[in-house]
Amino acid sequence: MADGRELLYFDDTEPWLSGERPRDAVDHRPLPHADDVVRGGSQLRFDPLTGDWIAMASHRNDRTLMPPPDEDPLAPTRPGKFPTEIPDDSYDVVVFENRFPSFSPRVGGEHSLVDGEELFPVRPATGRCEVICFSSEPSGSFGGLDPRRARTVVEAWVDRTRELLALDGVEQVFCFENRGTEIGVTLPHPHGQIYAYPYVTPKSAQMLRRAVEHREATGRNLFRDVVAAERRAGTRVVTTSEHWVAYVPAAARWPVELHLAPLRDDVRDLTGLSEVEKADLVPMYLDLLGRLDRYYPDPHPLPYISGWHQAPAGTAGEEFRLHLQLFSVLRGPGKLKYLAGSESGMAAWINDTTPERVAERLREVAP
């Protein structure tokens, strides 16, 4: 790209798939170099009360917010039109470094202390943040893709997980999609994001602690036992395929929540999926996204966050198992689940429904 960021094409149509037409478009935008934009812009500060690392990324406050349709930064760049992040005039799926990253190998800086206090360590917010465009269409989401394109996105997730986990300092990779202004989406273009964290995230660290405790107490893997228990009960299972099971967790905290897990119990991350498992994932996932849009009586696009929980790098993630968490903040038509005092202040969750009711409704709205 014009500012030195990397852009990758994942093609599934001609003339690009065969290489008949090379990807040779040039980004001519007069952008400042990414090193200059990001350097010094992100740092991690340690919270001694929780043990969490908090990213400070002040440069993100200027990122693009709901531009007019003719200034969509994720659209293809066409002659005489607004120059975008993708210099070619058409594309299938693309991945590129985020222009406003929370984590970047370009940040620079040294380990230090806030105000010289030993309690408050500071480190560079290294890692990487990528944007993945599912389609060149101006609006939509993953659920609107045809199976061929959805499989291409899955392959892109796998590729980026593999490549990012190989980078120095990267501890965990998270592929996710936000949909809906209620979630905070700033661009209507169908896209997701991929974060490569320089630490194990708090949620994953907590799950790993529980998994280690479960192993010590029972000799078994916690994630395997949870899936087995949900399948035995059956009351919260939404649907099962040859290689995957979708269920509402017994202690779901969101008004609408789903977990999707491979039936093979040794898959740590997306790179561990077989070809048949990836092929089986596509119709399963598209089916679930369609059910979400029919969940409430007046069908409409349901706002959601959907993310792949993957094992941290190396031996730290031995007890972790791959699963997708998909949830919505909508507790009823036009009613948002606000994270008010108890949830935001104390992380003490209160659900406004029961997992069994959610699972029953998701079974009712099967195609």
Q: Does the pLDDT of residue 66 top 80, yes or no?
A: no
Q: What band does 64 get if pLDDT is binned at 50, 70 and 90?
A: low
The 10s digit of each residue's pLDDT in 206-228 is 999 999 999 999 999 999 999 99
CA atoms within 13 A on the CB side of 308: 28
Mapped onto helix, strand or coil, the DSSP state of residue 97 is strand
**Amino acid letter at 15?**
P
Known active-site residue 111: no
CB contact at 8 A, 190 and 131: no
Fold observed for domain 7-199: HIT family, subunit A (3.30.428)
Instruction: Return the structure tokens found at 81.
Output: 């039109």
**Amino acid letter at 181?**
T
Domain chopping of the chain, boundaries: 7-199, 203-364
**Alpha-helix runs per DSSP H in the chain:** 34-38, 147-165, 202-218, 222-233, 275-293, 346, 355-364
The 10s digit of each residue's pLDDT in 324-342 is 999 999 999 989 999 889 9
CATH code: domain 203-364 is: 3.30.428.10
Task: Say which of 191, 214, 243, 259 is annotated catalytic.
Answer: 191
Instruction: Return the structure tokens found at 120.
Output: 């408050």
The 10s digit of each residue's pLDDT in 81-126 is 889 999 999 999 999 999 989 999 999 888 999 999 999 999 999 9
CB contact at 8 A, 154 and 92: no
* CATH fold match for the domains 7-199 and 203-364: yes
What burial class does residue 310 get, using C-beta atoms within 10 Å of its C-beta: 0-12 exposed, 13-18 middle, 19+ buried? Answer: buried
What is the rounded CA–CA span in Å between residue 163 and residue 311? 15
The 10s digit of each residue's pLDDT in 261-305 is 999 999 999 999 999 999 999 999 999 999 999 999 887 889 999
Q: Does the pLDDT of residue 62 top 90, yes or no?
A: no
CB contact at 8 A, 320 and 198: no
The 10s digit of each residue's pLDDT in 164-203 is 999 999 999 999 999 998 988 888 999 999 999 999 999 9
CB contact at 8 A, 131 and 95: yes
**Amino acid letter at 236?**
R
Per the model's pLDDT, the better-predicted residue between 38 and 190 turns out to be 190
Q: Does the pLDDT of residue 39 top 90, yes or no?
A: no
